[in-house]
Amino acid sequence: MDDIIPEVVHHLRPRENADRRALAQLARTRRSFCVPALDILWESMDDVLPLLKILSSSLAWKPSGPASPVYTVHRPIFKSEWLRFQSYARRIHSLCPRPLCHIDSSVFDRLSSYLERDPLLPCLTSLTISWSGWTTFEFEALFFVSPSLRQVRVSIELPDVWSGRQSCIAAKFLYLLCLESVNLEHLTLCSGAHGAYLPSVAQAANLRELVLTECNISPSLLSSCAQLPLLTVFRVRLLERQAPDLSCCGAGPGFPALEVLDAMGDLGPVTELIKIITSPHLRSFSWTERGPRAHTRQDLYVLYSALSSRHSAALRELDISFAHFANGADDSARVVDALRPLLKLRALEKLALKTHARVSLASSHLHDMASSWPHLTALLIAAAPPGPTAPRLHSLAAVARSCPALAVLRLPGMDVRVDALAVPHRLQTLCICAAPSSLVADPAAVAGFLDGLFPEVEIEVEAGAKGAWEEAVGVQAALQRARRLGLGVVSGCGLRLCTWRADCYVSRRRLEPSLILCGSLRARRCT
């Protein structure tokens, strides 16, 4: 029974407020349901006020002038309340706190005296803090730092009214976060201002994923990122026109374990970032241009060359997105020509190229891509408007033959003109030898093609080329006999000759072999 109750409560995990009320009511009905229900109810919190209300004998609301009342210290904390407070604090694993402006700083002073150096939430693993709407950044935020933290997302916008003291507190919070959260694996930092408060992340030695959005990437910050031994995912959004000095990372290894790089910004700094990566496991690279910039074909060529020269063995996915070339030049042919260095990436599985430049993709380009990337599962080339040249329809055969795992194909255009079949030839005899390349996979398709090209031919098959060739010859002979008897010509779209057998009759005259035609067929008598 003790093993079943937690499972039952787990299935009642709340998704809405009504579910939370139902689960709370369940916790009151029976003692055996109480503990697992409380664990789920307190597992994820969006405010610390419910936790502070446990100390109801010690804390109370107090008017604060014309502003709204604040929660403040009323009397010393009783031991029984403190023990209950700690038991509930250990239940919180995920926290997204609201601004703490309604909680007086004396509350945290009192908690600090009881906690000594212990964390406020000892089992906290996920923390999301957004200070975009806060007018102050006080030291209360430091209470959320815990050694058990694994995932942290911090969004800070530094308004102009912030003082130097508040900026220092923000820097201290981020420094302690990296220093004391020894299990921190995922860190996301979003900032709408200078971001000078984050000089380094070197203390977060176990960091595996780092996301920097709208941050000022200083040389010291980038150098500390490059030295993280376990960092596998690095997503960076550079500020507009930002070109960080990457020369500081040139000495020694940089990003030794990186597997995924997702960068947004100007092409030059992103190319330099590629050059300092020493990881042999970089399998995914994504670059998105930040706003329309004036790039040249040579700029793209340098980027692609850096990727192919350093990471040709491991790269599996490429996602490139940019607007146009410099001076509005019509470099439609150069977009694909610049891809030439990427043909060395024999392990490539996905290529997505999105641009507002004109792209001229010839059949030869498509053939080179297919033969160079046999493991492709997705090839997407999106351009607006399309270029003047498009691959011919028959070039898809090379793609299908070279890339058996291809699942998604998007091209900027396709030349759907199909060369008309030559005028039926009066060839009389065709001999088929027993070469390995002469094996027949689809006898009906082979028979239909030969009958259209050589309507009067007689096919001779060597003894070593029997089997499927005999079946194809039988189908072709049946087509010829039906035509001579004036029984009709089969026409239609998307038809398939499924099989044939030698015991069918057509118009009371025995034909050996004859056909079973499946599909939407239209037959007419020849005149």
The tens digit of pLDDT for each residue in 227-246 reads: 999 999 999 987 655 555 55
> Token pair 């939370």 is at which residue?
20
Q: Is the pTM of this model over 0.95?
A: no
Q: How big is the chain, counted in residues?
A: 527
Helices (H), 215-357: 219-226, 267-275, 297-311, 332-337
DSSP states of 403-469 as a string? Answer: -TT--EEE-S--B---PPPPPPP---EEEE---GGG--S-HHHHHHHHHHH-TT-EEEE-GGG-THH
Task: Encode pLDDT of 49-63 as tens digits.
Answer: 889 989 888 887 777
Confidence of residue 3 (pLDDT cuts 50, 70, 90): low
Count how many Cα atoms sit within 13 Å of the Cα of residue 457 in the half-sphere of its side chain: 24
Given this model, what pLDDT does residue 65 score? 61
Asked if 265 and 237 touch (Cβ cutoff 8 Å), the reply is: yes
Confidence of residue 421 (pLDDT cuts 50, 70, 90): low
Q: Checking phi first, is residue 327 left (phi over 0); if not, alpha (psi -120 to 50) or beta?
A: left
Helix crossing, 468-484 with 443-453: angle to 10°? 40
As a whole number of angstroms, the distance between CA 475 and CA 500 comes to 7
- Neighbour tally for 148: CB within 10 Å: 16
Confidence of residue 189 (pLDDT cuts 50, 70, 90): confident
| β partners of residue 98 | none
Helix crossing, 17-29 with 31-41: angle to 10°? 150
- Neighbour tally for 68: CB within 10 Å: 10
Given this model, what pLDDT does residue 143 score? 82
Given this model, what pLDDT does residue 15 score? 57
Amino acid identity at 57: S
Classify 270 as helix, strand or coil.
helix
Tokens of 471: 């079946």
- The residues, any chain, with a CB within 8 Å of residue 456's CB and separated by 6 or more, are 426, 427, 428, 480
Given this model, what pLDDT does residue 101 score? 74
Residue of 16 and 412 predicted with greater confidence: 412
For domain 125-273, give the CATH number: 3.80.10
As a whole number of angstroms, the distance between CA 122 and CA 190 comes to 25
Asked if 478 and 443 touch (Cβ cutoff 8 Å), the reply is: no
| β partners of residue 64 | 67
Tokens of 439: 């094996």
pLDDT above 80 for 371: yes
| β partners of residue 320 | 287, 353
pLDDT above 70 for 18: no
Given this model, what pLDDT does residue 343 score? 93
Classify 520 as helix, strand or coil.
coil
As a whole number of angstroms, the distance between CA 284 and CA 282 comes to 6
Asked if 316 and 348 touch (Cβ cutoff 8 Å), the reply is: yes
Asked if 377 and 352 touch (Cβ cutoff 8 Å), the reply is: no
As a whole number of angstroms, the distance between CA 355 and CA 385 comes to 9
pLDDT above 70 for 136: no
- The residues, any chain, with a CB within 8 Å of residue 361's CB and separated by 6 or more, are 336, 381, 387, 389, 390, 391, 411, 412, 413
Q: Mean pLDDT in the chain?
A: 77
Name the percent of the chain lying above pLDDT 70. Answer: 71
Given this model, what pLDDT does residue 329 score? 52
Query: Reduced to 3 DSSP states, what percent helix, strand and coil does the chain have, rounded to the nearest 5?
Result: 35, 20, 45
Given this model, what pLDDT does residue 233 score? 98
- The residues, any chain, with a CB within 8 Å of residue 98's CB and separated by 6 or more, are 46, 47
Q: How much is the average pLDDT of 6-19?
A: 57
Sign of CA pseudo-dihedral 194, 197, 202, 206: negative
Given this model, what pLDDT does residue 335 score? 72
Given this model, what pLDDT does residue 465 score? 63
| Radius of gyration from C-alpha coordinates of the chain | 35
Q: How much is the average pLDDT of 318-325?
A: 84
Asked if 173 and 142 touch (Cβ cutoff 8 Å), the reply is: yes
Q: Which of 83-92, 149-158, 464-473 has the highest mean pLDDT?
A: 83-92
Q: How much is the average pLDDT of 480-504?
A: 47
Tokens of 266: 């100007």
Q: Checking phi first, is residue 379 left (phi over 0); if not, alpha (psi -120 to 50) or beta?
A: beta
- Neighbour tally for 144: CB within 10 Å: 19
Confidence of residue 286 (pLDDT cuts 50, 70, 90): very high
- The beta-carbon contacts of 325-333 under 8 Å, at least 24 apart in sequence, are 325/294, 325/295, 325/296, 325/297, 325/357, 326/294, 326/295, 326/296, 327/294, 330/358, 331/297, 331/357, 331/358, 332/357, 332/358, 332/359, 332/360, 332/387, 332/388, 332/389, 333/360, 333/387, 333/389
Name the percent of the chain lying above pLDDT 90. Answer: 25
Given this model, what pLDDT does residue 108 score? 85
Task: Encode pLDDT of 138-187 as tens digits.
Answer: 566 778 889 999 999 988 765 554 556 666 766 777 888 888 899 999 99
Given this model, what pLDDT does residue 488 score? 46
As a whole number of angstroms, the distance between CA 443 and CA 407 comes to 27
Q: How far is CA 108 from the centre of its chain?
A: 42
